[in-house]
Each structure stands twice: as C-alpha cells, then as structure tokens.
C-alpha cells in the first residue's frame, strides 16, 4: 500500500460475533476428530467444489421462480400490547 494504516470498519455481524476461546477451539477440534462422519475440508476439497448453478441448475431455477415479495402489500405490520386475559380470550376464540 502507500504506507498509511488502513482501519476497516467491522460489519454488524462481526461486532456481535463471539469467537471461541483457545480452550473451546481445542474441544471443538477434538469433537471433529472423534466423529467419523465429519471432517475438516482440505484445500483440495475446496478446489473440487463447484457452484450449485453448475451442478444442479434446475434447483437454482426453481428457487428463482419461487414467490417473492408482494407487489402491493395487502397487510400492514403493526404491534400492540395486550393484557394476558385479552390475549388468552383471543386465542380461545380461534380468531
């Protein structure tokens, strides 16, 4: 670069991410090693991977044709606070 320090802002997800401690990591890795049905992917495994659109284009096309957002919403999102008795009566009415 140009010798200047660049600080990147963390995303909202990264700022809330709780990373495992080294001890927790050791336990996680021991569990992976002990389970014969799972393994850590190697560099070669990642090299062999292909996008779903190449392997199963019909699945991707079906997903793209699925319903999306409504063009004109017919309902309005709202929130209200109800007493427990009112809520129970509403639930019992089956409405």
**Into how many domains does the chain fold?**
1
Contact 91, 82 (CB under 8 A): no
> Is position 33 within any domain?
no
pLDDT of 75 reads 81
> Is position 75 within any domain?
no
> Is position 46 within any domain?
yes
Q: What is the largest CA-CA distance in the chain?
A: 70
> Is position 52 within any domain?
yes
pLDDT by 10s per residue, the chain, length 95 = 455 555 666 677 677 888 999 999 999 999 988 999 988 889 999 999 999 999 999 999 988 888 777 778 788 888 999 999 999 999 999 87
Task: State which H helix or E strand residue 41 sits in.
Answer: none
36 secondary structure, DSSP code:
T
- The residue segments making up the domain with residue 61 are 40-66
pTM, rounded to two decimals: 0.36
Distance CA 42, CA 91 (A): 53
Distance CA 90, CA 82 (A): 10
> Is position 28 within any domain?
no
Distance CA 31, CA 22 (A): 14
HSE-CB for 60 with a 13 A CA cutoff: 7
């Amino acid at each position: 670069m140009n010798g200047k320090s660049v600080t990147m802002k963390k995303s909202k997800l990264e700022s809330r991410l709780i990373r495992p401690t080294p001890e927790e990591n050791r336990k996680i890795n021991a569990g992976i090693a002990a389970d014969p049905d799972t393994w850590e992917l190697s560099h070669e495994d990642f090299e062999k991977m292909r996008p779903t659109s190449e392997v199963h284009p019909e699945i991707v096309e079906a997903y793209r044709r699925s319903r999306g957002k409504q063009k004109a919403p017919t309902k309005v999102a709202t929130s209200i606070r109800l007493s427990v008795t009112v809520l129970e009566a509403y639930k019992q009415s089956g409405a």
